[in-house]
A and B are shown apart, each in its own frame.
Chain A
Amino acid sequence: MSEQEQSKGFKIETSSLRAYTMLGALILIWLFFHWQTGGTFLSSGNLSNLMLQTSVTGILAVGMLMLIVAGQIDLSVGSVLALAGGVAAIALTNWGYGLGVSILLAIAVGVAIGIIHGTLVAYGKIPAFIVTLGGLLAWRGAIKGVSHSETVSVADQTFKTFGQGLMTLGTGWGLGALAIAALLFFAFQRAKSQKDYGLGEADYKKELLKTILPIIAIVAFVVAMNSSGGVPVPVLIFLAVAIFGTFVTNSTTFGRYLYAIGGNSDAARLSGIDTKRNILKVYMLLGVLTGIAAIVFTARQGSATPDAGTLKELEAIAACVIGGASLMGGRGTVFGACLGALIMASLDNGMSLLNIRDFVQEIVKGAILVAAVGADMAGRKS
Chain B
Amino acid sequence: MRSIVKEFPGVKALDGVTFDLYEGEFHSLVGENGAGKSTLMKTLSGVYPYGTYGGDIVIDGETRQFKTIRDSEKAGVAIIFQELSLVKELTVGENIFLGREPSKFGLINWSALYQKATRLLKDLRLPIDPRVPVGNLGIGQQQLVEIAKALSQNAKILVLDEPTAALTESEVETLFSILRDLKERGVGMIYISHKLDEVFQMSDRITVLRDGKTIGTEDAKNLTKDKVIARMVGREVGDIFPKTSHEFGETAMEVRNLTAYDLDNPDKKIVDDVSFKVRKGEVLGIAGLMGAGRSELLMSIFGAWQSRSSGEVLVEGRPVSIGSPSEAIKNGIGFVTEDRKRFGLLLEQPIVDNMSLAGLKKISGAFLTHRSRETVAAKGAMQSLKVKANSPMTVAGTLSGGNQQKVVLGKWLLTHPKVLFLDEPTRGIDVGAKQEIYSEINKLAKEGLAIVMVSSELPEVLGLSDRVIVLHEGKLTGEFTKTEATPEKVMAAATGNG
* A contact residues vs B (CB 8 Å cutoff): 1-9, 11-12, 193-194, 196-199, 250-257, 259-260, 263-264, 266-274, 330-331
- Is there a chain A Cβ closer than 8 Å to B366's Cβ? yes
Bound CA span A6–B8, Å: 7
Q: Is the CB of B368 within 8 A of A270?
A: no
- Is there a chain A Cβ closer than 8 Å to B1's Cβ? no
Bound CA span A167–B393, Å: 42
Closest Cβ–Cβ distance, residue B94 to chain A (whole Å): 27
- Is there a chain A Cβ closer than 8 Å to B485's Cβ? no
Contact A270 B398, CB 8 Å, known A6-B9, A256-B360: no
Which single member of A3, A251, A255, A274 contacts B398 (CB below 8 Å)? A3
Contact A6 B10, CB 8 Å, known A264-B347, A267-B344, A271-B357: yes
Q: Is the CB of B368 within 8 A of A1?
A: no
A-side contacts of B357, CB under 8 Å: 256, 260, 267-268, 271, 273
Contact A263 B349, CB 8 Å, known A1-B400, A252-B367: yes
A-side contacts of B10, CB under 8 Å: 5-6
Q: Is the interface of A mostly helix, strand, loop or mixed?
A: helix
Report the stretch among B64-72, B322-330, B438-446 that lies at the interface. Answer: B322-330
Closest A residue to B394 by CB, please name it: A8
Closest Cβ–Cβ distance, residue B65 to chain A (whole Å): 23
CB < 8 Å A-B pair total: 128
Closest Cβ–Cβ distance, residue B405 to chain A (whole Å): 13
A-side contacts of B286, CB under 8 Å: none
Q: Is the CB of B39 within 8 A of A272?
A: no
Given contacts A11-B395, A267-B343, 5 further A-B contacts (CB under 8 A): A1-B211, A268-B357, A272-B324, A272-B328, A330-B349
Q: Is the CB of A271 within 8 A of B395?
A: no
Closest Cβ–Cβ distance, residue A262 to chain B (whole Å): 9
Residue interface mask B351-362, A partner, CB < 8 A = 1:
001000110110
A-side contacts of B389, CB under 8 Å: 8
A7, A270, A271, A273: residue with the most chain B Cβ atoms closer than 10 Å: A271
Closest Cβ–Cβ distance, residue A266 to chain B (whole Å): 5
B302, B365, B395: residue with the most chain A Cβ atoms closer than 10 Å: B395
- Is there a chain A Cβ closer than 8 Å to B375's Cβ? yes
Q: Is the CB of A253 within 8 A of B366?
A: yes
- Is there a chain A Cβ closer than 8 Å to B18's Cβ? no
Residue interface mask B363-382, A partner, CB < 8 A = 1:
01111110111011001000
- Is there a chain A Cβ closer than 8 Å to B346's Cβ? yes
Contact A253 B369, CB 8 Å, known A263-B348, A330-B349: yes
- Is there a chain A Cβ closer than 8 Å to B114's Cβ? no
B-side contacts of A9, CB under 8 Å: 390, 394
Closest Cβ–Cβ distance, residue A195 to chain B (whole Å): 10
Contact A193 B372, CB 8 Å, known A2-B11, A272-B326: yes
- Is there a chain A Cβ closer than 8 Å to B335's Cβ? yes
Bound CA span A1–B366, Å: 38
Bound CA span A270–B398, Å: 22
Q: How large is the interface on B (under 10, 10 to 19, 20 to 34, 35 or more residues)?
A: 35 or more
Query: Which 10 pairs show the lowest CB-CB distances between chains A and B?
Result: A1-B34, A272-B326, A263-B346, A271-B358, A197-B372, A2-B13, A5-B11, A193-B372, A7-B398, A272-B329
Which single member of B13, B325, B364 contacts A271 (CB below 8 Å)? B325
Bound CA span A253–B304, Å: 21
B-side contacts of A2, CB under 8 Å: 8, 11, 13, 34, 39
Bound CA span A252–B366, Å: 9
Q: Is the CB of A194 within 8 A of B348?
A: no
Closest Cβ–Cβ distance, residue B30 to chain A (whole Å): 16
Closest Cβ–Cβ distance, residue A198 to chain B (whole Å): 7
Closest A residue to B324 by CB, please name it: A274
B-side contacts of A12, CB under 8 Å: 350, 393-395
Bound CA span A251–B335, Å: 26
Bound CA span A196–B324, Å: 36
* B contact residues vs A (CB 8 Å cutoff): 8-11, 13, 33-36, 39, 211, 302, 304, 324-326, 328-329, 335, 337, 342-350, 353, 357-358, 360-361, 364-369, 371-373, 375-376, 379, 389-390, 393-395, 398-400, 411
Bound CA span A8–B13, Å: 15
A-side contacts of B347, CB under 8 Å: 263-264
Closest Cβ–Cβ distance, residue B147 to chain A (whole Å): 27
Closest Cβ–Cβ distance, residue B364 to chain A (whole Å): 6
A196, A197, A273: residue with the most chain B Cβ atoms closer than 10 Å: A197
Q: Is the CB of A330 within 8 A of B348?
A: yes
Closest Cβ–Cβ distance, residue B217 to chain A (whole Å): 21
Which single member of A198, A256, A270 contacts B325 (CB below 8 Å)? A270
Closest Cβ–Cβ distance, residue A158 to chain B (whole Å): 34
Bound CA span A198–B380, Å: 11
Bound CA span A263–B353, Å: 11
Bound CA span A193–B376, Å: 11
Closest Cβ–Cβ distance, residue A69 to chain B (whole Å): 11
Q: Is the CB of B11 within 8 A of A270?
A: no
B-side contacts of A196, CB under 8 Å: 372
A-side contacts of B353, CB under 8 Å: 256, 259-260
Q: Is the CB of B367 within 8 A of A253?
A: yes
Which single member of A1, A193, A264, A331 contacts B13 (CB below 8 Å)? A1
Contact A4 B344, CB 8 Å, known A197-B376, A272-B325: no
A-side contacts of B364, CB under 8 Å: 253
Bound CA span A6–B348, Å: 15
Closest Cβ–Cβ distance, residue A167 to chain B (whole Å): 30
Closest Cβ–Cβ distance, residue B431 to chain A (whole Å): 15
Contact A11 B369, CB 8 Å, known A263-B346, A267-B343, A267-B344: no
Bound CA span A269–B326, Å: 9
Contact A194 B369, CB 8 Å, known A264-B345, A268-B357: no
A-side contacts of B9, CB under 8 Å: 6
Bound CA span A4–B291, Å: 34
Closest Cβ–Cβ distance, residue A52 to chain B (whole Å): 33
Bound CA span A264–B394, Å: 18
Bound CA span A256–B358, Å: 11
Q: Is the CB of A199 within 8 A of B376?
A: yes
Bound CA span A330–B350, Å: 12
Contact A270 B343, CB 8 Å, known A6-B10, A197-B376, A251-B369: yes
Which single member of B11, B302, B304 contacts A1 (CB below 8 Å)? B11
What are 14 A-to-B residue pairs whose CB atoms are below 8 Å?
Answer: A1-B11, A1-B35, A1-B400, A4-B398, A4-B399, A4-B400, A264-B345, A266-B342, A267-B345, A267-B357, A268-B357, A270-B302, A273-B357, A274-B324
Q: Is the CB of A251 within 8 A of B346?
A: no
A-side contacts of B361, CB under 8 Å: 253
Bound CA span A254–B35, Å: 41
Contact A272 B358, CB 8 Å, known A253-B366, A259-B346, A330-B348: yes
B-side contacts of A8, CB under 8 Å: 389-390, 394, 398
Closest Cβ–Cβ distance, residue B310 to chain A (whole Å): 21
Q: Is the CB of B348 within 8 A of A331?
A: yes
Bound CA span A270–B33, Å: 27
Which single member of B349, B372, B393, B395 contacts A7 (CB below 8 Å)? B395
Q: Is the CB of A266 within 8 A of B343?
A: yes
A-side contacts of B302, CB under 8 Å: 270
Closest B residue to A266 by CB, please name it: B343
Q: Is the CB of A259 within 8 A of B398?
A: no
Bound CA span A9–B376, Å: 20
Bound CA span A88–B361, Å: 39
Bound CA span A328–B8, Å: 29
Contact A269 B394, CB 8 Å, known A256-B360, A263-B346: no
Closest Cβ–Cβ distance, residue A237 to chain B (whole Å): 24
Closest Cβ–Cβ distance, residue B175 to chain A (whole Å): 28
Closest B residue to A256 by CB, please name it: B369
Closest Cβ–Cβ distance, residue A119 to chain B (whole Å): 18
A-side contacts of B328, CB under 8 Å: 272
Bound CA span A255–B364, Å: 13
Closest A residue to B39 by CB, please name it: A2
Closest Cβ–Cβ distance, residue A218 to chain B (whole Å): 24
